[in-house]
Amino acid sequence: MANIVIVGTQWGDEGKGKIVDLLAETADMVVRFQGGNNAGHTMVVGGEQFICHLIPSGILQQKTCVIGNGVVVDPAVLLAEMDALDSRGIDVGSHRLLICEKAHLIMPYHRSVDHAREKFKGDKKIGTTGRGIGPAYEDKATRRGIRFLDLLDPEVFSEKVNTILDEKNFYLKNYLSAETLDPKQIIVQYQDYARRLAPHITNISVVIDTAIKNNQQVMFEGAQGTHLDIDHGTYPFVTSSNTVAGNACSGAGIGPKQINDVIGIVKAYTTRVGQGPFPSELFDDIGDRIQEKGAEFGATTGRRRRCGWLDIVLLRNAVRLNGLTGLAITKLDVLDGLESVKICTGYDYNGKQMLDFPASLKVLGDCQPIYETLPGWSENLSGIRRFEDLPENVESYLNRIETLIQTPIDIISVGPDRDQTIVIRNPFK
């Protein structure tokens, strides 16, 4: 029996949804522990695509799906997602989908503040997803967030909304020059959400603990990526939660000794949506080609993702910060047909080689990537299902990654579909 954490190693969109969906076959429970509907996790089964923003990617395999206390939840988005899955024949009943009573709600004023602030900042903006994530975590930290527990108590909920809106409306109107909001409307709307979501709301720490005691296998599904972590990422161009594996514990209410393996999802190249530094970014035809072949558009906002070569400095940082025990390399097929492929093995900072990812954005901005060039491959990888059938140059690329970051590759993905995968070691088995 094992409990594993899945995290993104780069700047998000590494293919976490695909790998979680695949591994969910051997899991009993899948738990989201941070982030919110800034995430967009894509699963493709038999050519049919599903994108989840809040519901864990174990839902298609019909496992118990849990939204942990560390997640910030926009109930309108959650309900729309539940309805969409339900209409496609996927069961999202209250025995299947559980929400932690301690999880914080994203409120309409969080979305308004997120949008207005980005507009206000102009070219200094972060490039957020505009889903109210930062403002919701901000209220959680300043101890005036509203939790699912409060939603279940109409009196407490109304009082909290009325109190906080006084201040939010003042800030929206006088500082951000944005529209104010009507508390009555919010209260009525959220009471409707409460009626629908009440059967799903519970103490998930107890639920997960009971599952583990009954020898069930639990998978903790990270959102975003290591370099979007509020502490360890490219601050301030980050999200507002801890995205690293350690947060699976506090974001789900379990202890660190319950985790057996931590799998890092690595896209075979690098992408980033929104602003912020990106040392191995490509501004040439190869970058465009990767962007097109990889269909690199955000699953949440539809924005074009910036593309670049694989960055080992970034990955080494992710191995250490998450304690990675294995890797899943995704989108290898996107590199098909390139004459050569490059790996950034270090940064040149003022003539000195830098192997550790710098915390200072000023330093990072002055870092030039040092590349190692490997031969590409002309074969189409998307139909390959066995490691032995991979072209020699692909094996060399993978071996080089393993050597450089000293972490074994457990899974190789060669296409978006669940079955376009080569599993070398299933961490659950």
Sequence letter at residue 185: Q
Q: Enter the tokens of residue 275.
A: 């602003």
Looking at the Cβ atoms of 40 and 183, the one nearer to Mg ion is 40
Candidate list 23, 31, 38, 40; residue touching ligand GDP; CB under 6 A: 40
Residue ranges in contact with ligand IMO by CB under 6 A: 8, 11-13, 38-41, 126-129, 131, 133-134, 223-225, 228, 239-240, 273-274, 299
**Residues of this chain, 299-328, that bind ligand GDP according to CB under 6 A:** 299
Task: Tell me the HSE value of 120 on the side-chain side, using a 13 A CA sphere.
Answer: 14
**Residues of this chain, 263-302, that bind ligand GDP according to CB under 6 A:** 299
Catalytic annotation, residues: 13, 41
Q: Number of residues interacting with ligand GDP: please give it, by CB under 6 A.
A: 21
Looking at the Cβ atoms of 333 and 410, the one nearer to ligand GDP is 333
CB of 273 to ligand GDP, least distance (A): 9
Which one of ligand GDP, Mg ion, ligand IMO, none is in contact with 201 (Cβ closer than 5 to 8 A by kind)?
A: none
Closest to 66 in 3D by CA, of 225, 248, 251, 204: 204
Which one of Mg ion, ligand GDP, ligand IMO, none is in contact with 274 (Cβ closer than 5 to 8 A by kind)?
A: ligand IMO
Identify which range of 10-18, 123-131, 353-361, 368-376 contacts Mg ion by CB under 5 A: 10-18
Closest to 382 in 3D by CA, of 288, 293, 309, 282: 293
Candidate list 4, 5, 6, 8; residue touching ligand GDP; CB under 6 A: 8
Residue with smallest beta-carbon separation from ligand GDP: 42
**Contact in structure between 249 and 139 (CB atoms under 8 Å):** no
CB of 400 to ligand IMO, least distance (A): 25
CB of 233 to ligand IMO, least distance (A): 9
Candidate list 75, 132, 274, 415; residue touching ligand GDP; CB under 6 A: 415
Determine how β-strand 421-423 pairs with β-strand 326-330. Answer: unpaired
CB of 299 to Mg ion, least distance (A): 4
**Contact in structure between 79 and 105 (CB atoms under 8 Å):** no
CB of 37 to ligand GDP, least distance (A): 12
CA 143 to chain centre: 25
Q: Which residues in this chain contact ligand GDP in the complex, by CB under 6 A?
A: 8, 12-18, 40-42, 44, 299, 330-331, 333-334, 413-416
Q: Which residues in this chain contact Mg ion in the complex, by CB under 5 A?
A: 13, 40, 299
